[in-house]
Chain A
Amino acid sequence: MVIAACAAAACSRPADETSRAIVLWEQDDARVAPYIDSVIEAFKKLPGNSGLEIIRTHYQTEDLRQRFQAASLAGVPPDLLLCPSDTAGLFAVSGFIMPLENEFDLSRYNKTVVDAITLDGHAWGVPVTNGNHLMMFYNRRLVKTPPATTDELFSFCRREAPALKLDACMAFDMGEPFWLMPWLAAFGGGPMTGKTPTLDTKAMRDALGFYSDLKFEKKFVPKECDYNCMDSLFKEARTAFIINGDWAISEYQRHLGRDLGICLIPKLSSTGVYPSPMVSGKYFMLSSGIKPEKMAVIKRFVEFYTSRENQIRQYLELKRLPALASANSSPEITSDPVSRISMEQILKGRPMPMATEMRAVWDSARNYMGLAMSRKMDAATAAERMQEEALRKIEDMDR
């Protein structure tokens, strides 16, 4: 009885979580932490913020999701999350985060990035970056002119790459469906319509066939290569091209310096359509458990973090495109070829669906892509089973 009472007393909220303390959880790369901290420090120095404490805690992406769910259920959630939109649907349906369209003026932000955090008519986050999209990187030492079409790309791989003694002409994570999506779109398909998976389509069969052709017939990609593998191959100049996200720009610039080239993912010659990567960004999400007395200071912090000058600084330091429309048109950003190409790629992209059903799509697609790419299943059966399983999993989630 005494122990239980002691435990109950000990488990009460820590003293530092007062209205003068904001608890922020993020899942960004370690190299981004100094930037976040610098913005926090700048905000704390503003008039009226003396004595304010902002406690930043870092988690890996999946950890952040699970811990936020657990903390919300336990009634001790952090005030703010800074993370991609992937999990926003889950948090929104669970009631762990609050809709923000009445709290912030979201018309100041790019429409695509706001659309990617909108579900059932509510916006569930304030965008911080625009993108999180795939694009093509190449090594200028190996490739003189970036390919505009897949025919040009394949021609390079067939004729010039062998003389360069590369491990593979190009590399991308063929095990993750996120990398399949641009090609699926180039074949005229998409993963979902509304909240219904659309995987058993000709576009999916063609996209899987395209992957299989690259791997087994043309042999332009490594036989087995996950994210770390493709990343290492590119950094060590053992592959000429890589398809990776905008999050990797500053890292590749550090490794390759002037040899780094960035271009659009080449147009698919067979359809004449550009691959369309999924576009979202990083967002501030506000816990629905925020105490009312904290709301004003949290709003001021989010607005300060996404102010025009901080959005431009974010680009200059991290090469992440601003979500604020007015910052996008600033000369610091428009004069940079990297941002120009990144923005061009975003314009060819489509918003990442934030519906919770997307988890079933990712999981089913990953499994059957794997089976098709190891030739344990043909593309048509894989697409058919992908659809069936995605539907079954969605039903299981709701049942």
Chain B
Amino acid sequence: MPETLGSLGEVAWFVLLVAAGTAALEGYLYFHLRLFGRKWFLPVSLILFPALAVLACAPALGGQAAARLWPWFLAAEAAASAASRYLVKGRHYLPFMLLAPAFVGLALLLVYPFVFQAYLSFHDLKLSTVLMWKNTGRLPFAGITQYVKVFTTSPLSEVSFWALLVRTFVWTFTNVALHVAGGFVLALLLNNAIRFKGFYRTLLVVPWAMPQVVAVLAMRGEFHSQHGFINILLSRLADASPLLERLGVGPVQWLTDHPLLTCTLINVWLGIPFMMVVILGGLQSISSSYYDAAEIDGASYLQKLRYITIPLVKPVLMPAVTLGTVWTFNNINVIYLVTGQSGGTEQADILVSAIYKAAFTYNRYSYAAAFAMVVFAMLFAISAFYLRVFDAAKDER
């Protein structure tokens, strides 16, 4: 009980801290965006805010170190005050104030790690330089060496970077294609007037709603060579039909012989519900008048699907496909949980699981950072391509 209360206290403290930070930010913006025209604006802001910043930094950095930052705080405040008085002049103050907390949150959670990763990728942080970094805060500069290594060496034993890249693209394409196909079929079925539609929909969403770790480990068990449901089913099928047995149907050592295929099957099962929900939302937003008109014109089911359903679902499908591509490309959970938490064999590794190994098995942090930057660039290009295609499709309409 005291531990629970302690944890709740920590959460409450954190929430209060965020609220206080947000209030301070809003107060600062209100002062600059609404009171910029007052005579006392410049002197007050140039005295008050740098002093407050020094006071706030003092407990963490020490009084003297914080005081040394005062000129920087003063310069920053002078720039901010000048911009708000002579440039912004209170225009769009409400959007600025509403968006500011989100921008600051994003900067802390995304921009800073990204910048730090970029910094690491041009330096050399590894096991033998960690101590140097810890003691001096400096790292040897490595230029583009880490980037060259990304393309010329592989963190895996048997798979080169290029083979790994091809494998990752195959993994991503197969998964996303099957997610979309499966999701589309299920969404079309659920879009009909059938009984217990809500029940089916709930049932189909279960794999997605379940914590991924639980879902993946449960499915992993079903692929066990002796006790898994899949092999038991295959055995029964082979027993029941000699023809199937002659065709090679029978138990398979999924995890040993086909680890990537096993990961793909599990990930397809996990990913279909998301696509189904998105596509179903799109289908339900299509007005029935289009179908009625097509019906009157004598259009077949396939014609209606091709000329009405698919074009009108595209606007919701494209962002979902973009997201699905990024998630699948970066999906380390399924690979890690299926092929063994202690490392597993390399037969199912994709780019991100290779990065994980480089960083956390071999402590090659800078190499892993450069690798991650390369992966980021690829995903950025893929997303930009998708969005361009999507925009082109919109323009056509």
- Residues of A at the B interface (CB closer than 8 Å) are 1-12, 62, 66, 69, 72-73, 90, 93-96, 167, 175-176, 222-224, 226, 229, 356, 359-360, 362-364, 366-368, 370-371, 373-374, 385, 389, 392-393, 396-399
Does the CB pair A1–B130 fall under 8 Å?
no
Please name the residue on chain A nearest to B341 by beta carbon. A62
Does the CB pair B226–A94 fall under 8 Å?
no
Question: With A and B bound together, what is the CA distance between A180 and B236 in angstroms?
Answer: 35
Question: Known contacts being A12-B59, A226-B340, A366-B344, is A95 close to B130, with CB within 8 Å?
Answer: yes
Question: With A and B bound together, what is the CA distance between A4 and B135 in angstroms?
Answer: 24
Does the CB pair B343–A366 fall under 8 Å?
yes
Does the CB pair B127–A94 fall under 8 Å?
yes
Interface string of B114-153 (1 = CB under 8 A from A): 0000000000001110110111000000000000000001
Taking the closest CB of chain A, its distance from the CB of B262, in whole angstroms, is 11
Does the CB pair B24–A364 fall under 8 Å?
no
Contacts of B241 in A (CB 8 A): none
Q: For chain B residues 340-383, which have a beta carbon within 8 Å of chain A?
A: 340-347, 357, 360-364, 367
Question: With A and B bound together, what is the CA distance between A374 and B49 in angstroms?
Answer: 67
Chain B's interface size range is 35 or more
Does the CB pair A73–B59 fall under 8 Å?
no
Taking the closest CB of chain A, its distance from the CB of B372, in whole angstroms, is 16
Does the CB pair A363–B343 fall under 8 Å?
yes
Q: At the interface, yes or no: B52 with Cβ under 8 Å from chain A?
A: yes
Query: Which of A93, A176, A359, A368 is close to B362, meaning CB atoms less than 8 Å apart?
Result: A359
Query: Which of A8, A66, A356 is close to B127, meaning CB atoms less than 8 Å apart?
Result: A356
Q: At the interface, yes or no: B17 with Cβ under 8 Å from chain A?
A: yes
- Residues of B at the A interface (CB closer than 8 Å) are 17, 20-21, 24-25, 28, 49, 52-57, 59-61, 73, 76-77, 80, 104, 108, 126-128, 130-131, 133-135, 153, 155-158, 224-227, 253-257, 340-347, 357, 360-364, 367
Contacts of B227 in A (CB 8 A): 229
Question: With A and B bound together, what is the CA distance between A118 and B59 in angstroms?
Answer: 40
Query: Which of A66, A224, A389, A398 is close to B255, meaning CB atoms less than 8 Å apart?
Result: A224
Please name the residue on chain B nearest to A174 by beta carbon. B256
Does the CB pair A2–B226 fall under 8 Å?
no
Question: With A and B bound together, what is the CA distance between A41 and B175 in angstroms?
Answer: 53
Contacts of A374 in B (CB 8 A): 253, 256-257
Does the CB pair A397–B56 fall under 8 Å?
no
Question: Known contacts being A3-B25, A73-B134, A374-B257, is A224 close to B224, with CB within 8 Å?
Answer: yes
Does the CB pair B345–A397 fall under 8 Å?
no
Does the CB pair B362–A393 fall under 8 Å?
yes
Taking the closest CB of chain A, its distance from the CB of B266, in whole angstroms, is 16
